Amino acid sequence: MSKESLLKKEFREKDVNRARNLIKKDYNAKTTTGTGYSKKREKHQEGDVWEEDGRTWTIKGGIRQNVTKLDKAKKAAQVPLACPKCKGAMNHHLHKKMYKIHGFCFDCTIDYEAKLRKAGLYESYERAMIQGSLKAWATDLQAYVSDFLETSNTYVTEQGDIEDWKNNKAHQKEAVLKNLEEYLDHVQKALDS
């Protein structure tokens, strides 16, 4: 055998670097540099609002969040940890219920109603609360019935026939609307008295 190397292959630089790294036991070292597109990153601070990819973003509490149309509704439904009036903890279920109605905790509601009783205004306050609930219930009932009457109950059979399961639809609709109107008039009279 001659002293000439039997290895005729020429190594690329990255192969030599990889072998060098393996000998040094540096297994995570890179041998090539990658190129490509990198998006320009903007630095945003707490409370900034910006538009990106057709969406509105903000940073709250160090977390990047999407601003949606329902944020106001979420905030209205969220119960705080402390009562805004007395700064007490709102961890009882009655505190949460009273906050949604009055805007403060159960203890503050009791104090408020005691002051109303002392001033002689509690009966009118109670009547107003009940009437408000009944009015909301009446509008919900009217919306439910009208929605129920407007939905169509048509079904397609296995043979492809369309069946309408509401017979005498116009007659029943008139009767239900008449009964609803009479009932809501009765409720309105009870509210007015």
pLDDT, residue 115, reads 94
Q: Which residue has the tokens 């017979």?
A: 167
Q: Is the pLDDT of residue 3 over 70?
A: no
Candidates 36, 60, 32; CA nearest to 48 is 60
User: How many other CB atoms are found less than 10 A from the CB of residue 99?
Assistant: 21
pLDDT, residue 12, reads 82
Name the residue type at position 3.
Answer: K
Burial class of residue 25 (count of CB atoms within 10 Å of its CB; 0-12, 13-18, 19+): exposed
CB 99 within 8 A of CB 107: no
Cα separation, 181 vs 30, whole angstroms: 79
The mean of the pLDDT values for the chain is 84
pLDDT, residue 4, reads 63
Structure tokens at 99: 């906050």
Q: Is the pLDDT of residue 159 over 70?
A: yes
pLDDT, residue 5, reads 59
Q: Are strands 63-66 and 154-156 parallel, antiparallel or unpaired?
A: unpaired
Q: List, for residues 77-136, the tens digit of each pLDDT value.
A: 888 899 999 999 989 999 999 998 888 999 999 999 999 999 999 999 998 888 888 888
Q: Is the pLDDT of residue 44 over 90?
A: no
DSSP state of 63: E
pLDDT, residue 8, reads 65
What percentage of the chain's residues is helix, strand, coil (to nearest 5)? 50, 10, 40
Cα separation, 142 vs 148, whole angstroms: 10
pLDDT, residue 168, reads 57
Cα-Cα end-to-end distance for the chain = 120
Question: Which comes out higher in pLDDT, residue 167 or 157?
Answer: 157
Question: Which comes out higher in pLDDT, residue 45 or 3?
Answer: 45
Helix (H) or strand (E) holding 56: strand 55-60
Q: List, for residues 129-139, the tens digit of each pLDDT value.
A: 888 888 888 89
